Amino acid sequence: MIFHIQDWFPVLLSIKVAFIVVIIVSILGLPLARFMARNNFYGKDIIEAFLTLPLVLPPSVIGYGLLLLIGKNSILGQFLASLGITIIFTWWAVVMASTVVALPLMYQSAKGAFLSVDQNYEKAARTLGASEMRIFFTITLPLAWPGIVAGLVLAFARALGEFGATLMVAGNIPGQTQTIPLAIYFAVAAGDDTTARSLVAIITIFSFFVIYGVNRWAKKQKV
Amino acid sequence: MLEAKFEKNLWHFNIEFSLKLDNKILVLCGPSGAGKTTILHCLAGLVSPDTGDICLNNRLLYSSKNKINTAAKDRNIAYLFQNYALFPHMTVKQNVYYGLKSRKARNFNFYVEPIKWLDTFGIKHLQERYPRQLSGGEKQRVALARALAVQPQLLLLDEPFSALDKSNKLNLRQEIKKLHDNWQIPFILVTHDEEDANFLGDIVLEIDQGNIRRMTTKP
């Protein structure tokens, strides 16, 4: 058989993780990007560089960094262990690794989008009595929308394809932390070409339709 | 009645501004870069002065001494932006109602009949259009309707005619004058055109390098 998948778990896990990551990076990235786009303060450049760092560092460095942060011997890891929580080598570690590498993409896109919104619109809304919260949701966000959608798509794609950092903090545990990219790698290593080929086809087709669909949808939203 | 006296340091000069204005049209006239827009921003609460007081109808909006600095959204001062700043993703109707929704949520004691309001400004037939589908003159009328819908106690206009051609400009100049007669609140208008200043201004202040150089009052 050309295409055959015995274990659908990696497919479901990858999609689940990618959606959760998109939600997390939206909640973290959007307010952060808006804040950095509209405020200047001492040390801003340092924070900016720090936020962009995961984009340029090798995934193995990020994985090792996360191991130091939440590993069994770290302070945070031991604290969590005392509460009965383990992150490392669970699917939450997959989410964590993907979030760290996807956040800079969301942040950069959203910041660029917010910067492109003419501040006079926000000022006008302010003189019309709108609260900052209302201004964000009714003026800034809709006007920055195309750039934000681009950020969401990039973050989703990055989360779906995350390999190196995930391998280091979550391992390759079939049925627990094995995502599509990991499953492909280990299928190829084991000479299981059918599985590898099938997973490659699935992730390619799925990614294509997500990007295509989001772009179509974003185009319709634009006035 | 607006009473304002404040100073603001900019990097290349200091703005020193003081003024008492009842329900008249005041024109700030001067070359670009003279600090006219910054004065409007200070009054509207979009920028904070460094020292001074701003008092509108016995409401102290800003006072460096008493550490009062009312947010722009609570000042009840309308602002007409140079390029009108109409929200491009909203229709004319949504633009004009935008301020009404804010106030209503906070139970302000007034209500404007929306359709009647659009009619007053002669823009009822435009209500479903987007700003990019409007001419310069129509844009200005929408912007005025939006700014005045929240029943402000002061209207600030920043270069209201700069985006218009000559014939439009003469019409709208007349309209602003008429609007002021009906409205009975102080207007402060920024322009670099002396003809506009003389036509509209009850009081004309010539501003240069942030200072009032000359004051002309119409009899």
**pLDDT tens per residue, range B98-123:** 988 775 545 555 566 778 888 888 89
Note the pLDDT of residue B210: 84
pLDDT at B11: 82
pTM: 0.85
Q: Are A120 and B83 an interchain contact pair (Cβ–Cβ within 8 Å)? A: yes
Residue A12, pLDDT > 90, answer yes
Two structure tokens written together for B56: 């509108």
Cβ of B87 and A223 within 8 Å?
Answer: no
The answer to whether A144 and A110 have CB atoms below 8 angstroms apart is yes
SS3 at position B59: strand
pLDDT confidence of residue A49: 92
Positions in chain B short of pLDDT 50: 105
pLDDT, residue B169, reads 87
Average pLDDT over residues A182-203: 94
Contact A127 B44 (CB under 8 A): yes
Q: What domain range includes position B113?
A: 2-217
pLDDT of residue A7 exceeding 80, the answer is yes
H or E stretch covering B8: strand B2-9
- DSSP-assigned states of every residue in A36-99: HHH---TTHHHHHHHHHHHHHS-HHHHHHHHHHHHSTTSHHHHHHHHTT---TTSHHHHHHHHH
What does the alpha-carbon distance between residue B99 and residue A126 come to, in Å, rounded to a whole number?
A: 9
Q: Which of A38, A120, A123, A127 to mutate to test the interface with B (most CBs of B within 10 A)?
A: A127
Interchain contact A119–B (C-beta under 8 A): no
Residue A36 CB partners (closer than 8 Å, separation 6+): A44, A47, A48, A107, A111
Mutate which of B47, B97, B98 to disrupt the A interface (most A C-beta within 10 Å)? B98
Identify the pLDDT of residue A108. 94
How many independent structural domains does chain B possess? 1
Distance from CA of A143 to the nearest CA of B (A): 7
Confidence label for A199 from pLDDT (cuts 50, 70 and 90):
very high
Which of A121, A130, A138 has the CB atom closest to B85's CB atom? A121
Beta carbons of A121 and B79 less than 8 Å apart: no
- Contact predicate B104/B113, CB 8 Å: no
- Sequence-distant (6+) residues with CB within 8 A of B111 are B104
Whether A223 shows a pLDDT value over 60: the answer reads no
Q: What is the ipTM of this complex?
A: 0.90
Please give the C-alpha separations between residue A93 and each of A54, A161, A169, in angstroms, as whole numbers. 16, 15, 6
Considering only CB atoms, which chain A residues are within 8 Å of B77? 127
Q: What is the pLDDT of residue A222?
A: 58
Backbone angles phi, psi at B28, to 5 degrees: -100, 120
Q: What local confidence, expressed as pLDDT, does residue B109 receive?
A: 52
Asked if the model's pLDDT at residue A133 lies above 70, the reply is yes
Q: Which residue has the higher pLDDT, A89 or B105?
A: A89
Q: How many CB atoms sit inside 10 A of residue A141's CB?
A: 17
The more confidently predicted of residues A25 and B104 is A25
The two structure tokens encoding residue B177: 């004058």
The whole-number average pLDDT for the span A153-162 is 91
Q: What is the mean pLDDT of residues A128-145?
A: 93
CB contact under 8 A, A139 and B87: yes
Q: What is the CATH number of the domain that holds B130?
A: 3.40.50.300
CATH 3.40.630.10 fits A9-218, yes or no: no
* Distance of alpha carbon A149 from alpha carbon A155, whole angstroms: 10
